[in-house]
Structure 1
């Protein structure tokens, strides 16, 4: 354990005096939620438009989407309908983005750690199996029992958008849980789509597809010009899947799983910055091209493609898909037939009841058995609301309706079930989330420390049995956090071994662009037992926290540089910082520093005398059970 020493530095004198710096709730999270909200609203509008068109268009809806045309040259011709073009070609791009997300989550995201992935993985598996079983039971005798694939998948776009619209307060951890679950759900749905709903299978074209996929894998080693090669090989693979009888949308997934993904290297970022500085000093075409290429290559192609395609998928492809597939006729006879149809009720029960029982039921069992990890904010009532939202099976459900059912009347009944289940899921989830917010008011949640102190996980200075504890949520570039650190050092000199100090991360990413990188660097240093030394180095010089500074400090502290750079890019380090940020969101921490005195939130000045007085007046810390498997708040 490192020694706390005085930091001879004052905050920037030009800063306006204030108690602390404000922070928004994770800026990237807000931006993603905003795009998801707009995408979900547009998808909803397209669905309503399709239903209106199908019911008042006097047959024009189906005639339009069955319009036929040819694509090709000479004797090489492909005949499509507009409906097939949307479902086979445009949706391949959608499934490509799904595959990119799947690969990212397994390489650098939530599914890299088995402890974090266990609960959403088991919940997703149950959320695939239980709906299918209920559908088969309810639709028994309809002749469409084989269409159970309709109810297995959750619409990720609607799920995230609905969560942004109606989700509970501070839902970051619930969103992470549901996104991890949705990734597993997508894998299951795509696997079933390939294995169960593939007709007229031909093996030879798949050999061509395999050669194309091998080529796509090795494109990463080309020194330049990779974009056109990726595009050409992707078209070949898609055509080969189409000729094989395997649904061509799965080509998008196969291609995406071979696209490289990695976290940015500090050295690559610094190299890009050096080229940018060179261009500024001597602006010319050669330096501009080199700087642009270096900046682009410092981010993995997986991340670049996700960013590039996301707006098109959310605002074009999915709304067009809804317009082409959600046109359910709702005349009196049709509604009456749907109400009597075991297919309609099988879909409703499968999506609404099956998803809820599978996901929420498995979460309850795992919690009782103390298996897996439930972090603060991921309470069972919130999981219940999220489980209901997973009953929105819109996109892939409608997609499988078209593949699994040939009878137009039965297709219509299934679509009625999908839309009804999705609407009911949205309404019931809204009610549950409002109840959850009433049970967990933000002011009460943030008054006490949400996650207990764990010496094996937290950065702790002082004895575990110390009578006084200060937990700080801070930012290494925050001048007020620097001031608080100086005060805490004075408190330590006064109280000695009676004080235990804990640091947790709450980087002000909107105001301090390098704060997140500094937090991750401190975590990489902690893996070599140098957290507090690295923390002190960051606070000593807050103005210099660029990649070169991060690496220089590690070298000055005598760290193993190869290991340090590898850890900087690891999912473990990123997850460690993200966990603290999600905890801060749960406790409605909107300022740095935020201090907790013996587990209670400190309100007021944080000079040494005020902190000592607050410690002496505070009740002994009632330490909750150690955060382990199955616990949640």
Structure 2
């Protein structure tokens, strides 16, 4: 149970929340004076006469948090090469939304603090706390679909990168040229090792630590080192050769178990996966359950007595941070999402609508970890303003979480607000399939089947992806059921659906439609032109032959779907009648049983009158 709990997003958020509460209780307890005293205890490392010393809080903020930002660098590297950030159309919208979510909060803060002692804190409300946001989305549950989670994760990654650039550029007080030159030399040494393909962990650890010390001494915040090193770590998709070697090693161990065979199988399997992914797997628990909670414990302890709360209620710093997080993030992300969609600069993943996007924009106002980080940099010499800024962060983050939850709840309860844009409107739609199943259709199952399920689907639609194994399981359990697939790509929502449909039709020319169909649904996140060409090569299919004919075929499917009242995907017809139930195995199975009984009654000869 404990392992299952720790693997969940709510688990890491709960630990972080617990550390925050503990810090507040400690700072406001009768022993509150020990809170600051403890975190200011100096600790150092000596090399002969040389001494490198920091207090405990700076070891946490400048040292441990470098690992946190290293993980962000790993995530950025992975997403750019293999994930969401490699598709420019899917990147444009969350990137501009993240930019809006930085500019508007900073602008609101400066309107209230320009020219005052708190002016330098404009960077405090710009950052989104990914851990807390994911925790709130886990609580929201089904109200937050997977495409929205992917959108917010991409937005958070871009937000983190922009926030780190802000820290590096605007929160660097002075520069030490010798230390900076040393940092560049150490970075060049790391790049040289990488280019020479020397993968000795001790060498990278020593050089990385030296780079961290040099950067810290140079005046630039060492968070930049963390993200830079993370970006430099290799990431790649496993090659067929590595997968083959790993499979052979595992098979060899299975047939002749031994310590040597086990070691070889372990090494082969590990080498099939990139260093980036292995490091993320190992470091993520330490970051989520140790580093970030310790950071919260060291920084979230703020005095909440009557005097400090009264000061915060009238402080432009507290008000600016709170409004920046609650109003600025919501308005900035919403506008940053609307503009690229309005001008066709990008598209959204999945069937997202404004009710869901507004909820995501609201919870993105939870700015905790990086916001506290910037407070420490901006107001290091002013404890009074620092306290007011922290109170603003706590208030703004709490209000953003509540506002986001309310928006998700209202959107869910009203139903139509969360319905996909392409879903059925309030109109009388046809109940019957307009074009009967014919010889040109893609059919899986016996021609003599009693029940025919026609699916209008989209290869990039996540709901179609979930339905795919359900229909397969249903067909295997019911030999008298056949499945027919017709293309209905939602082009405005899924930019890769139409090219995927063309490749599927190319495979159909070679008699391999259903093989390609299964591959595409198994790899929905990877549908770029290069990916599609790779899948076609696996099936020995030419992917882009006779595109006009295939496009016409897809258009005919779409036309028949619209005539049948199809407005979104997936839409099913059972024996030519629209299915309107839930898309789970049990519900569809009951509908199949009913369709089978109806078909039996219709085929039973009636006695003459």
Q: Which of residues 498, 504, 529 is equivalent to 2:506? A: 529
Is residue 2:474 matched to residue 1:474?
A: no
1:132-166 alpha-carbon deviations (Å, 9 max, x no partner)? 01100012343221211111111111111111113
Q: Which of residues 37, 54, 57 is equivalent to 2:27? A: 54
Compared with structure 1, are the counterparts of its residues 226 and 418 closer, same or farther at alpha carbon in structure 2 (3 Å cutoff)? same
**Counterpart of 1:7?**
none
**Counterpart of 2:248?**
274
CA contact under 8 A between 1:481 and 1:593: conserved in structure 2? Answer: no
Compared with structure 1, are the counterparts of its residues 344 and 558 closer, same or farther at alpha carbon in structure 2 (3 Å cutoff)? closer
**Counterpart of 2:551?**
none
CA contact under 8 A between 1:49 and 1:323: conserved in structure 2? Answer: yes
Note the C-alpha offset of 1:352: 1.1
Moved more, 34-43 or 185-194: 34-43
Matches of 2:317 and 2:40, distance apart in 1:
25
Note the C-alpha offset of 1:428: 1.1
Note the C-alpha offset of 1:167: 4.8
CA contact under 8 A between 1:127 and 1:355: conserved in structure 2? Answer: yes
Question: For residues 25-36 of structure 1, what are the structure 2 equivalents within 5 Å?
Answer: 35-36=8-9
SS in structure 2 at match of 1:236: helix
CA contact under 8 A between 1:534 and 1:553: conserved in structure 2? Answer: no
Matches of 1:166 and 1:607, distance apart in 2:
35
Is residue 2:222 matched to residue 1:248?
A: yes
Note the C-alpha offset of 1:353: 0.9
Matches of 1:131 and 1:442, distance apart in 2:
27
1:206-264 alpha-carbon deviations (Å, 9 max, x no partner)? 33333333443454567775322222221122112112111112211110010011222
Question: For residues 113-128 of structure 1, what are the structure 2 equivalents within 5 Å?
Answer: 113-128=87-102
SS in structure 1 at match of 2:45: strand
**Counterpart of 1:545?**
none
1:47-104 alpha-carbon deviations (Å, 9 max, x no partner)? 1111111111240000000011221221232111000100010000001111111111
CA contact under 8 A between 1:265 and 1:298: conserved in structure 2? Answer: yes
**Counterpart of 1:45?**
18
SS in structure 2 at match of 1:501: strand
Matches of 2:501 and 2:201, distance apart in 1:
34
CA contact under 8 A between 1:39 and 1:157: conserved in structure 2? Answer: yes
1:98-124 alpha-carbon deviations (Å, 9 max, x no partner)? 111111111111111111111111111
Note the C-alpha offset of 1:608: 13
Matches of 2:537 and 2:230, distance apart in 1:
37
CA contact under 8 A between 2:411 and 2:418: conserved in structure 1? Answer: no
Matches of 1:240 and 1:116, distance apart in 2:
38
Matches of 2:25 and 2:346, distance apart in 1:
46
Moved more, 356-365 or 200-209: 200-209
Compared with structure 1, are the counterparts of its residues 127 and 595 closer, same or farther at alpha carbon in structure 2 (3 Å cutoff)? farther
Question: For residues 498-509 of structure 1, what are the structure 2 equivalents within 5 Å?
Answer: 501-502=486-487
Taking structure 2 as the reference length, the TM-score comes to 0.74
Is residue 2:90 matched to residue 1:96?
A: no
Matches of 1:32 and 1:270, distance apart in 2:
34
**Counterpart of 1:382?**
356
Q: Which of residues 381, 405, 415 is equivalent to 2:390? A: 415
Question: For residues 344-423 of structure 1, what are the structure 2 equivalents within 5 Å?
Answer: 344-405=318-379, 406-423=381-398
Q: Which of residues 543, 558, 564 is equivalent to 2:540? A: 558
Note the C-alpha offset of 1:600: 4.5
Q: Which of residues 419, 432, 442 is equivalent to 2:407? A: 432
SS in structure 2 at match of 1:471: strand
Matches of 1:485 and 1:345, distance apart in 2:
66
Matches of 1:443 and 1:125, distance apart in 2:
25
Unaligned runs of 5+ in 2: 426-437, 443-452, 458-466, 490-496, 519-532, 545-567, 582-587, 603-609
Matches of 2:219 and 2:421, distance apart in 1:
55
Q: Which of residues 131, 140, 143 is equivalent to 2:105? A: 131
How many aligned residue pairs are there?
Answer: 514
CA contact under 8 A between 2:15 and 2:289: conserved in structure 1? Answer: yes
1:547-605 alpha-carbon deviations (Å, 9 max, x no partner)? xxxx99977853479x9xxxxxxxxxxxxxxxxxxxxxxx999xx99979687547445
Matches of 1:110 and 1:61, distance apart in 2:
42
SS in structure 2 at match of 1:40: helix
Matches of 1:106 and 1:392, distance apart in 2:
25
Compared with structure 1, are the counterparts of its residues 410 and 605 closer, same or farther at alpha carbon in structure 2 (3 Å cutoff)? closer
Compared with structure 1, are the counterparts of its residues 238 and 613 closer, same or farther at alpha carbon in structure 2 (3 Å cutoff)? farther
Matches of 1:597 and 1:432, distance apart in 2:
38
CA contact under 8 A between 2:143 and 2:409: conserved in structure 1? Answer: no
**Counterpart of 2:294?**
320
SS in structure 2 at match of 1:257: helix
Compared with structure 1, are the counterparts of its residues 346 and 167 closer, same or farther at alpha carbon in structure 2 (3 Å cutoff)? farther
CA contact under 8 A between 2:70 and 2:230: conserved in structure 1? Answer: yes
Matches of 1:488 and 1:143, distance apart in 2:
72
